[in-house]
Structure 1
Amino acid sequence: MENVTEERVSLYKEIEPLTDKPNGPVLVRNRETKEFFVKKYYPLFLKENLLTLQELDHTHLPKIQEVLVEDGKLFLYEEFIHGKTLTQIIQRSEMIEIETLLKMTLELLDALIALHSKGIIHRDVKPGNIMLTNDGLLKLIDFDAVRTFDGGKETDTVQLGTIGFASPEQFGFAESDRRSDLYSVGVVMNVCATKKYPKEQLSTNKFLRPLILKATKLDPNDRYQSALEMKWEVEEQWKKLKFNYQSEEKETKKASQEDRIREILEKNAANKEQQQNISQKVVKTYPSSILRKYVPGFRTDIVWKKVIAVIYYVFIGLGLPLDIMRNGSSNGRSGLVVEDLLYFVLPVFLFTNFMDFHSKLPLLKSKKRIVRIFGYILLGLFWLALCSLLRGEQRVP
């Protein structure tokens, strides 16, 4: 039997401790399956309880892979949970929404229903022992304080639990039972809602307050008598919360209908005024839109570009006709027209992106600046080639 245990233990390679505490949890990896697990040390007297827990396969409880005794010490290997404790979430958030809190409470109670069905009491339900996985599932972890309910004792043999969350009977007043876990659930709910214990500040939320009050009664007989009973009450409060949300939505819709009617009337009045002035606006904006769309230099609102464009167009409008008229022959004039258009007019259309033709050229429409620069260089070479070709033709006798 010892050889079998040693063989099983050797299957797990220790990776790193998860806390600084002596005998704290250690991250391990199965050498065969490559799965990660958490190795935890437990007192030897908890062996039977842990073996019972191993039989449970529940969504809101960690899956126990193995329970092994090594060198007289009890070790539990359970699934490695990726997520955060409720303590971490409470510390980092301003407030947990009531709907989310009720949903978490239902999942926590489902975990306790599974434990209690095996006669096991957790006895240390607190935010630090509640994890929310990266997938949004709640897991009740850590079984250091678990015990089976005896029913014939006046107090617990071993008094365990966390002060503030543990029920009064866990400190020697009576034997703890499943109602002790429900007391802790009530405290957890209040801490999530107010970040304080019920004795310091009780939640005033109308959906939480009655649940917390009943769960944290000093006398166990005045509390919920089972996790299932408390689950029913939480579900009822959740239904009331949903109904309240729906009622508020109806009121909001009803109140907004008048605002919508008012908006429609105001829009209709504005539309009439717009229709009266629409022709004037078209007349005013039409010449401007033509300039912005077709005439280089006026397609932006940059003043210096407009000034240069005006000077250039005056030069073209006056200079070119005078230059052409100075040439006496008709053949000379036609050649001069072509030459002037090529030298002075064509560059404007080529380099100012007339009619947005650059968006149709592969290099010039590129988002990379260096590619566009290369495209402009090729465009310039094309223009220079045309100029050279024209001069060559003029030199031929």
Structure 2
Amino acid sequence: MENSNNELALRYREIEPLTDKLNGPVLVRKNDTNEFFVKKCYPLYLEEHLDALQKIEHRYLPKIQEVVVQDGKLWLYEEFVQGKTLTDVIQSSETIETDQILTITMAVLEALGALHNKGLVHRDVKPGNIMMTSEGTIKLIDFDAVRAVDGEKESDTVQLGTMGFAAPEQFGFAESDERSDLYSLGIVMNICSVKEYPKKQLTQDPMLRGVIRKATKLEPAERYQSALEMHQALRQQRLRQIAAAKRAKSRAATLEKGPIRTYTNTKPNTNKWDTNNYVKQVISIISRWYEVIASFFRKYIPGFRTEVMWKRVIAIVWYVFLIIGTIGNVLEQPTTGLRIQLFVDYLFMFILPIILFTNFLDYQRKLPLFSSCNRVYRYIGYGLIFLFWLVLTKVGLELNSFIYKHFN
């Protein structure tokens, strides 16, 4: 829609530029209502996307007043959001409470859900584009990188996004979609928690760790598939947090209001059996051991380090067959020497590939090929690991055979 300079001048009065950039955002005031807006210049190819954005009204998105094409330039007039960016909050805070991180993330997810429902992807979710108003409201701002999801392209026509927060597919490896925004938001969550990117230091916060790990998977198919799905996962985490807080408060109230007991020097009846207390102690011990074992499996055992149930089922079936097959075949050997030799052979043939190909102890993150966003480089990395396994197995089996022949 074409508008004359005079018409815009009658409607808006420029107050001051908000940055030193040429054609940067300018604070303006609407003459008839005295409302403040931010006037921003956008590329002309975004006109259709910004028109779609203007139709979205959401409490966690700034209000788009109007989209104007003027003198070959595209201008957007949007609500002026007064407050701090999340970047400012992170830098000025030693720590951000988990509850606040959940609140911010769930608000941004609702904003993203509104965009995604209209077929739009933000593509630049980062702390600098998340505003916290003086009233405590969250706003997702800045639509310089917004695009519509096509679903049939091999990559984005225009590759935009902020390094460190943008999903791998935003750099030309595939078309970005809703899951790209969720990847970026997972990075933001980790930055809020430990002020580091997940690949350098993943938060140990049990309320956030699993969600961040899934949201930031390299393969989009392994991430949350929608903002709603990720929102529900966080909502469940928050409900657990609330329930835990209520239990702690209830226990504290019980201790505070409990009757005062007096004790005499009489010897307690050692023959009396407190069944309820005994059961509680047993359950508590089992629960602690379960958490220790579950934590070990999630951290170290391939197949259990993911939240994907089918991977865990396959891992259980594989480990059962491997253990039964190994023990059965080893015990069938007539001598101790043969048993040791066969056991070592099995280590090279079956155990070693599990360690190498399932990223045991997250060793792949330290290798350049696997830390690359280029999928081809990662495939090359797996090829080299396969060759390494073949060579190591060949050498190991021959060495094992040589030792058996010469020392038995």
CA distances 1:186-244 after superposition (whole Å, capped 9, x unpaired): 11111111111111111101110011011000000000000011111110000011111
User: Are the structure 2 counterparts of residues 9 and 175 from structure 1 closer, same or farther at C-alpha, using a change threshold of 3 Å?
Assistant: farther
Structure 1 counterpart of 2:195: 195
- CA shift for structure 1 position 4: 5.3
Alignment of 1:53-132 (within 5 A): 53-132=53-132
CA distances 1:315-356 after superposition (whole Å, capped 9, x unpaired): xxxxxxxxxxxxxxxxxxxxxxxxxxxxxxxxxxxxxxxxxx
Contact preservation (8 Å) 1:5, 1:68: no
Alignment of 1:1-397 (within 5 A): 2=2, 6-256=6-256, 261=260
CA distance in 2, matches of 1:35, 1:249: 46
> Which secondary structure state, in structure 1, belongs to the residue aligned with residue 155 of structure 2?
coil
Contact preservation (8 Å) 1:121, 1:177: yes
CA distance in 2, matches of 1:163, 1:82: 26
Contact preservation (8 Å) 1:17, 1:26: yes
- CA shift for structure 1 position 172: 1.2
CA distance in 1, matches of 2:108, 2:136: 13
CA distance in 2, matches of 1:249, 1:23: 55
Q: How does the TM-score come out when normalised to structure 1? A: 0.64
- CA shift for structure 1 position 95: 1.2
User: Are the structure 2 counterparts of residues 255 and 95 from structure 1 closer, same or farther at C-alpha, using a change threshold of 3 Å?
Assistant: same
Question: Any stretches of 5+ residues in structure 2 without a counterpart?
Answer: 264-408
- CA shift for structure 1 position 250: 2.9
Percent identity at matched positions?
Answer: 59
Higher-Rg member (1/2): 1
Matched AA of 2:27: L
> Which secondary structure state, in structure 2, belongs to the residue aligned with residue 239 of structure 1?
helix
Contact preservation (8 Å) 2:2, 2:68: no
Matched AA of 2:173: F
CA distance in 2, matches of 1:120, 1:126: 17
CA distance in 2, matches of 1:6, 1:112: 36
Contact preservation (8 Å) 2:3, 2:70: no
Question: Any stretches of 5+ residues in structure 1 without a counterpart?
Answer: 266-397
User: Are the structure 2 counterparts of residues 188 and 154 from structure 1 closer, same or farther at C-alpha, using a change threshold of 3 Å?
Assistant: same
- CA shift for structure 1 position 253: 3.4
CA distance in 2, matches of 1:10, 1:181: 38
Contact preservation (8 Å) 2:191, 2:197: yes
CA distances 1:18-76 after superposition (whole Å, capped 9, x unpaired): 11222211101112222111000100100000010000111000000011111111100
**How well do the aligned residues superpose, as a CA RMSD in angstroms?**
1.9
- CA shift for structure 1 position 8: 3.1
Q: How does the TM-score come out when normalised to structure 2? A: 0.62
CA distance in 1, matches of 2:152, 2:9: 38
User: How many residues are treated as equivalent by the alignment?
Assistant: 263
Contact preservation (8 Å) 2:68, 2:74: yes
User: Are the structure 2 counterparts of residues 141 and 246 from structure 1 closer, same or farther at C-alpha, using a change threshold of 3 Å?
Assistant: same
Matched AA of 1:78: E
CA distance in 2, matches of 1:9, 1:48: 24
Contact preservation (8 Å) 2:42, 2:74: yes
CA distance in 2, matches of 1:248, 1:187: 31
> Which secondary structure state, in structure 2, belongs to the residue aligned with residue 132 of structure 1?
strand
CA distance in 1, matches of 2:252, 2:198: 34
Matched AA of 1:224: Y
CA distance in 2, matches of 1:196, 1:246: 31
